[in-house]
Chain A
């Protein structure tokens, strides 16, 4: 195999393509859809509950039936992973979610919380 250069013009083209893809997906995924922030809670690909965050008056803990166990903390206008029994704590370190488009995921527990912008539904927890 012959020696290859460190940097070539095609590298710049690749960088531009990746940045363009990042900006496009950011606009598509994070653009605020308006309305109230609704936390969509899912475990293993199945939606298990929705909470309209502005309708929350007092904070409470919401344990999910997962292994390892995770506990969500729901407060007026915001939600977060409070505790997770997994080693890496990525979901907990994500912190508070407040606005549509924000997401926190705990892979070991296969649990996710995504904020969507929608009106209508108050609070449905199955």
Chain B
């Protein structure tokens, strides 16, 4: 019994990790979105880390964020890897805290937005360390853009969670 549930964990983790990588790759293929600040992304792959965070716990979610960062580093270079890691780990950490905090007053939309804001702030911090304070010019854009991006992530999570929990029970 113990062995079976462990195998299940590993299989689910691998699946969510693959989903995260495919989503971030797809997003990279879309290229710059007109009307958005350069470099802004929807953060679709955050759906995978948030799914892991809400059904499998913080360890699994952080493992996926780490995997995604390594993949970005291998395929798109060191800078992209650092950006993905800093944003991913900070946002996943905060989302885990909010999800496991029983009295947290936020709904899924709020948690998605908190995650998106933290993702952008983590990336901004690393870009600041790589260059200088000039990068803070992006701060207002990044804050505003985190609202729709985070709301979409939260909504997706809300829709997927029941289905994912069922799937998890059946495997």
A: residues with CB less than 8 A from B are 1-2, 4-11, 14-15, 18-19, 21-23, 25-26, 29-30, 40, 42, 44-47, 86-88, 90-91, 93-94, 101-105, 107-108, 110-114
Does A107 lie within 8 Å of B144, measured CB to CB? no
* Shortest beta-carbon distance from A98 to chain B in Å: 14
Known contacts A1-B100, A93-B38; A18 and B131 CB within 8 A of each other: no
Evaluate whether A88 and B76 lie within 8 angstroms (CB atoms) in the complex, with A22-B143, A45-B132, A107-B130 already known.
yes
For residue A86, which residues in chain B have a CB less than 8 angstroms away from its CB? Answer: 77, 79
Contact A8 B137 (CB under 8 A): no
For the complex formed, measure the closest distance between the CB of A110 and the CB atoms of chain B, giving whole angstroms: 5
Count contacts between A and B, CB distance < 8 Å: 122
Q: How large is the interface on B (under 10, 10 to 19, 20 to 34, 35 or more residues)?
A: 35 or more
Question: A19-B144, A108-B79 provided; 18 other pairs, C-beta below 8 A?
Answer: A5-B107, A10-B110, A11-B109, A11-B110, A15-B113, A18-B144, A18-B147, A29-B139, A30-B137, A42-B134, A44-B130, A44-B131, A90-B38, A90-B39, A102-B137, A103-B134, A105-B131, A112-B134
19 pairs, CB–CB < 8 Å, chain A vs chain B: A6-B155, A10-B107, A14-B114, A19-B143, A22-B144, A26-B140, A29-B140, A42-B131, A44-B131, A45-B131, A46-B132, A87-B77, A88-B76, A90-B32, A102-B137, A107-B79, A107-B130, A107-B131, A112-B132
**Residues of chain B lying within 8 A (CB to CB) of residue A22:** 139-141, 143-144
The verdict on B20 contacting chain A, using a C-beta distance below 8 Å, is no
With the chains together, A68 CA to B115 CA distance in Å?
32
B117 to A18, Cβ gap below 8 A? yes
Contact of B136 among A1, A29, A44, A110 (CB under 8 A): A29
> What is the minimal beta-carbon distance from B60 to any residue of chain A, in angstroms?
14
Complex CA distance for A97 and B102, rounded to whole angstroms: 48
Main secondary structure of the interface of A (DSSP, over half): mixed
Q: By the criterion CB–CB under 8 Å, are B143 and A4 in contact?
A: no
Query: B84-113 interface mask toward A, CB cutoff 8 Å, 1 = contact, 0 = none?
Result: 000000000000000110100111111101
Residue of B nearest to A27 (CB): B140
* Bound-complex Cα distance A105 to B155 (A): 32
B51 within 8 A of A: no
Decide yes or no whether B43 CB sits under 8 A from chain A.
no
Residues in A neighbouring B140, C-beta threshold 8 A: 22-23, 25-26, 29-30
